[in-house]
Amino acid sequence: MSRVLPTPVRGRLADDREILLFDTDTELGVDRRGLPLRPALPTTTVRRDPRTGDHVILAPARQERTYFPPRQMCPLCPDPEGLSSEIPAADYRVAVLENRFPSLDTPQVPYPADSQENSLRRERTGTGRCEVVCFSSDHDGSFAELPDDHARLMIDVWAQRTAELYSRDDIAEVFCFENRGTEIGVTLPHPHGQIYGYPFRTRRTRALLRTAAEYRAEHGADLFEALLAAEIADGTRVLVRTAHTTAFVPYAARWPVEVHILPNRHVRNLTELTDDEADDLARVYRTVLRAFDALYARPLPYIASWHQYRADAAEGYLHAELFSIRRSADKLKFLAGSESGRDAFVNDKTPETIAAELRAVL
């Protein structure tokens, strides 16, 4: 049986963006900043690359996004006065707000039809939804350091946002993710992640679904179920296996640190987990993140990427993909010619070595 998802306290910021607080007794205050109202129409566009069919989002307003503010001006710390922060409250556990500098945005009025000038120049309005998810009011915290119940709350918040965004006809894919560390490009150190509601399926998702469909046509079985069973049977790269969740280094890992986390039961997205499965997934997820930070005795820069799909999708299996660009204690992996120019990854470590290094610090 699916679990009950949390109901947020909803409010509006000074520029009319939505803000949601989860699992809190704190009253949401008034945002007194003199922000201009957000544009009625999205300021972003999506163009189709005629060579590859990929979608490219053009969001020039993001050039003005917040960039390493001083600690006392952190926009994600609580501010009960409503004068300097995105979160006008005395405290919070989890806060979700529409991004002030979105890559995609929900229009306030009907928007122009897509441009179909010709097959080489296709452009559409950049509609969708971009949210910032603040994991905690603790400026110096991290997801790995959250208590058990707080980490579980985060799983439920992601699920609640997934359910609400997938209910919209204009959103084709819901992507929950975290960028962590300045090496990744993070310019706000306060622990947070993001959620993108894309109006299209991304290239990565299309590739995964295409490969899964090809595997089913050839073998009559689900690709991810087969992958999970194979990793468990082999055991060489398995890091954690519990009653409900398995974490392993993938057979063809592209990154010098890479872990995939799958529920043992086949579900499409976070909303379909039972209470026990959600509890277990939160514990395993946090265990892997703690191993990441113990690997080099310093916080590891990483990207945490959740793959999920609509409940009625023909293919797809909920899983988290976590990876880092750090290849040693003092070296980073740069995506140079082969990776950036051809999307052909070269890994300096074998997946078996990665697994052994992570198991040593679990």
219 is annotated as an active-site residue: no
Q: What is the CA radius of gyration of the chain?
A: 21
Q: Give me the sheet containing 94-98, strands edge to edge.
A: 9-12, 18-22, 94-98, 129-134, 192-198, 173-180, 302-307, 319-324, 257-263, 245-248, 238-241
CA distance readout (Å), 122 to 113, 118, 260: 11, 7, 35
Burial class (CB in 10 A: 0-12, 13-18, 19+), 337: exposed
Instruction: Please return the burial class of 254, using the count of CB atoms within 10 Å of its CB with bins 0-12, 13-18 and 19+.
Output: middle
92 alpha carbon, distance to own chain's centre: 21
Q: Which residue from 227, 238, 254, 248 is spatially nearest to 346, judged by alpha carbons?
A: 254
- The helix or strand, by DSSP H or E, that contains position 216, with its residue range, turns out to be helix 203-219
Q: Which residues pair with 320 in a beta bridge?
A: 261, 306
Kindly name the residue from 55, 150, 190, 192 that is annotated as catalytic.
192
Active site amino acids? 192
